[in-house]
Amino acid sequence: MIVKSGLPTYLSQQQVRQLLSVITSLRDKALFSLIYFYGLRVSEASSLDRANLDLDRQKIRKLRSKNGIPGEKPLFRRLVTPLREYLASRRDDDPALFVGRQGRLGIRQIQALFRRYATLANLPPAHRHVHLLRHSIATHLLDAGEPIDFVKDHLGHRSIESTLIYARISDRRRTRAIRRLERSLEI
């Protein structure tokens, strides 16, 4: 985890768009989109199998590491087409969802790919770690007004304590709370 002043570092939504826009590979676009939208750890993305996707029902079964809670989640609609295109482009029967020349993409391969794309997207050197996508979606969900318990479930955290750090960096959420407080004060 990248921590600045005790808080996790994250990408803005613009930086996420910038990152995804430089990726031309169907596989890599699907990979990093899934990591971002579902807040996956690299190990979780690496361990995904084709069987974890049900494109007809638009569901994904996520495996969680670090004692996280696994679960089936709705598939973001914007991911269905890129995933279908990626899977249609494959010429192998490997059960792994994301494969390279020698089978399942490993953690280090995914990290190296991310660094390459982050560099192409001109992200600052401190923002070239794949785990930032997990921090980013958590922050973006809170900024969008989602409750902390939804973010906890989305990230697969067992304890709300693991999720609360994102509430300390969500500017929009904090700003809305301050504005509500200002309106209610009679001073």
Could you give the CA distance from residue 127 to residue 2 in angstroms, rounded to a whole number? 9
Q: How many helices (H) and strands (E) does the chain have?
A: 9, 7
**Cβ-based burial of 62 (10 A; exposed 0-12, middle 13-18, buried ≥19):** buried
Residues known to be catalytic: 41, 66, 131, 134, 157, 166
Residue type, 4: K
For residue 125, what is the DSSP state?
G
> Based on C-alpha coordinates, what's the Rg of the chain?
18
Q: Is 171 strand, coil or helix?
A: helix
Rounded Cα distance between 154 and 161, Å, is 14
**Are the beta carbons of 71 and 61 closer than 8 angstroms?**
yes
